[in-house]
Amino acid sequence: MAFQFLGYDAEMAQQRQGARSFAAERALLREVDSPFDLDEGQFKRLYRLTPNLVYEIIDKIGSRLERKYVSALSAEKQVLAALRFYATGCYQRPVGEQWGLSMSQSSISRSIHRVTDAINETMFMENVRYPMTVVERQVARSIFSAAREPLDGAIGAIDCTHIAVIGPKDHEEAYINHHGYHSINVQMVCDPNLKILNVNARFPGARHDAYIWNASAVPRAMKRAYDRGDHNTFLIGDLGYPLEPWLMTPLSNQREGSPQFRYNEALCKARNCVERLFGVLKGTWRCLSKQRVLMYEPGFAGRIVNSCAALHNMRLNTVENNSDIQSEDQIVEAVLEEDWEESIHPSALAKRMHERLIAAKFT
């Protein structure tokens, strides 16, 4: 009995200590005049980025946010308001009432729109970039080969995730996904380090993953590389995607212990990085989680997804300055500039690639 009381007293003391620490932290927040006066840990808990990264964002898009009238909000405050919204997914009024902002609902709304549009126009293509050249694909392959769950030849893992949105007025039925709620179905490609290589946030939730893949510029870019002789580079996806020479998917109903079964295991482990990416992305930028429905029309909701993807890559701090790597929009332009002919159906080539890969690595 005495031991029980001792444990209870220790637990109560620990709780009191935690309450005092929390109160001290809140008191510190009240005393600081600017969020940038906080220590880095507290700042990151509020805005998900380091102060230096936020300053970098302000430097890049500040000129697009400034207004000439006296009572205009500073670029700094607009960026912080948008980051706080991305980080929490709260309604606009509560975001404005939170510590360090003190902004009206309408000001928060304008800030979110301005910052989101500015990031899409100036920072998205710089930070979310797809490997297009031979050298860049070789680098991407080496990253997958050296990963914890390697798969030689892969340059990215692809999948789609649903981002909840308010039901739009036009074609509302197209946005009801198979889970029964309104969403946009967002396709992403990432590497094993969870770096986002491509985002396609343009399609309603009822669209299937394979439909989005076929409407995307990525398979056309991969086909062009294949036609030019790059036959050992591919993306990896699940059974929701078609088997193509540049897109490897699992084989159904394979006997345990067979080479095909081992191939399935290796592929599924390697493509797990895209599932982890969705968890990290929605956990960091809570506005993208299912519990925080984006109360915007689908087009702007897609731009919010793009902004969060760019900010995610900035957090990873692994982006290299290489202007030759292109985003989804740039891939579209490149593909449209050059016509390519439809040859034989790629399924036969894809099956041969499957067989060759399994024979070389898993037999």
HEC sequence for 121-137: HHCHHHHCCECCCHHHH
Cβ pair 331, 130 in contact under 8 A = yes
- 292/272 Cα distance (integer angstroms): 25
User: Helix, strand, or coil here: 199?
Assistant: strand
Structure token digits, residue 280: 């990290």
pLDDT of the residue at 238: 94
pLDDT of the residue at 363: 75
Count Cβ atoms within 10 A of the Cβ of residue 323 and give its class: 0-12 exposed, 13-18 middle, 19 or more buried.
exposed
Per-residue pLDDT of the chain (363 residues; tens, 9 = 90+): 444 545 556 666 666 665 555 445 544 444 446 788 888 888 898 899 999 999 999 999 999 998 766 567 889 999 999 999 999 988 766 776 665 667 888 888 999 999 999 999 999 999 999 999 999 999 999 999 999 999 999 999 999 999 999 999 999 999 999 999 999 999 999 999 999 999 999 999 999 999 999 999 999 999 999 999 988 899 999 999 999 999 999 998 888 889 899 999 999 999 999 999 999 999 999 999 999 899 999 999 999 999 999 999 999 974 343 333 344 444 444 333 333 333 445 677 777 777 777 787 777
Distances (CA, A) of 45 to 41, 104, 176, 235, 349: 6, 23, 33, 34, 49
- 64/118 Cα distance (integer angstroms): 7
- 185/91 Cα distance (integer angstroms): 22
pLDDT of the residue at 10: 60
Q: What is the pTM of this model?
A: 0.82
Segment (H or E) for 85:
helix 75-88
pLDDT of the residue at 96: 60
Q: Which residue has the tokens 């020479």?
A: 245
pLDDT of the residue at 97: 61
